[in-house]
Structure formats: C-alpha cells, structure tokens
Amino acid sequence: MNAVTKSGTNDFHGDLFEFVRNKVFNARNAFAQQRDGLKRNQFGGVLGGPIVRNKLFFFAGHQMTLVRSEPVENTAFVPTAQMLAGDWTTVASPPCNQGRQITLRAPFVNNTI
C-alpha cells in the first residue's frame, strides 16, 4: 500500500501516463516463427485541485490495464521410446541436422547412452 499526503492548492494539477506493449515493440522468441501478438496497455492519471477555495481540496487517481493476445504457438520436444531407452541415433543423424556435420567431443559408442 502506498500513502502519499498532498497539500492542497487552489490550482488544478494532474498527470497522465501510458505504458504500451504491442507487435511493433515486442521481440521475437528465438524458437518462434514470428513475434507474439501480445497487446498490453497500462494507463492512468491523477488530478487534484480545489473544491472550496482555500478550504477543501480533492486528489484522485485511476489506473487501468488492458491485455489482449493472440494464441501462442509453442514448440515442445517429446522424447521417443528410443530416446527414453538411451538411443539418440536419430537426433545425431544427418537428416536431423540439416546436412551439417556435428563435431562431438567424446561421443558415446553408437550414439547410445
């Protein structure tokens, strides 16, 4: 909880703010094809001033957050029965590595753990 005491004034004073997150500013997840569609707007303001000059004053504030998002495409790795048994030959095979040669420091015999 925040508590702020303000002395009254015979002038009106206020502030407005907004924090924006949308597709323009979002970074792309390293594993995703495109940026996420999260749209988040947090905004609000405060206003203070006299009700009765030199006698009674008011100060009010408001904050609101709107969040809208598109469905997220998650990539998951589900090990096969072979992998659970310790046979990782399918992962280190050339088709899985897009034809690139993988340099292994000390590979397991037959790629089996």
Q: What is the predicted pLDDT for the residue at 99?
A: 62
Instruction: Tell me the pLDDT of the chain (113 aa) as tens digits.
Output: 777 776 667 899 999 999 988 888 878 877 777 777 788 899 999 999 999 998 888 999 999 999 887 766 666 678 888 888 887 766 655 556 666 666 666 667 776 66
Task: Count CB-CB contacts under 10 A for residue 21.
Answer: 14
Looking at residue 47, its pLDDT comes to: 94
pLDDT at 91: 66
CA–CA gap between residue 97 and residue 95 (Å, rounded): 5
Work out whether strand 56-68 and strand 13-21 pair parallel, antiparallel, or are unpaired.
Answer: unpaired
* Beta-bridge mates of residue 48: 13, 59
Place of tokens 């998002």: 69
